[in-house]
Amino acid sequence: MPTFTNFFTEIVIDHNLVIPDHKPPAECLLDSVIDFEITKAVVFDTPLESPEITGVLLRKALVVGIAHIIVKYAAAVPDQQVHGAHFDVPFNALVEMPDGPTQGTNICVEPVVEKSVFCLEDDRRVSKIIVVRLDIYTAA
């Protein structure tokens, strides 16, 4: 069972999404679904000391992943069919870990959506902001 090591960071995924031309235009947004795929999570040593604690080595974790986003919407057509547009948005983060696990330690990353806002700018463009906390776990 993984144990929490008190290391985390927050990232913002802030891009406009465009509903593809082969989909009908949107009249209103109904829902959104966000899943994450972590493609890389590695710990590495640095030659630096922690700025907060003298004598403590500063290690870092590199986290790379993809946010799989589905936006469900009512189409701007007479029968108002429900459609979904799928988007894959890459992200990365560098997490500082003073006196954290050593280089090469296996880590797990748990993305937690803290806030997400989706707004329809026009019938094809969706503005979105997703605030994600990346919690780092190590094997016990």
Cα dist from 100 to 9, 25, 113, 133, whole Å = 14, 48, 24, 18
Whole-structure pTM value: 0.86
pLDDT (tens digit per residue) in 37-78: 999 999 998 887 777 777 788 899 999 999 999 999 999 888
CA distances from 136 to 22, 59, 108, 127 (A): 39, 13, 6, 29
Secondary-structure breakdown of the chain: helix, strand, coil percentages, each rounded to the nearest 5: 0, 75, 25
- List the structure tokens of 78: 């007479």
List the one residue out of 130, 29, 37 whose CA is nearest residue 84: 29
Mean pLDDT of 11-15: 94
Q: How confident is the model at residue 1 (pLDDT cuts 50, 70, 90)?
A: very low
In the chain, domain spans? 2-139
C-alpha span between 117 and 98 (Å, rounded): 33
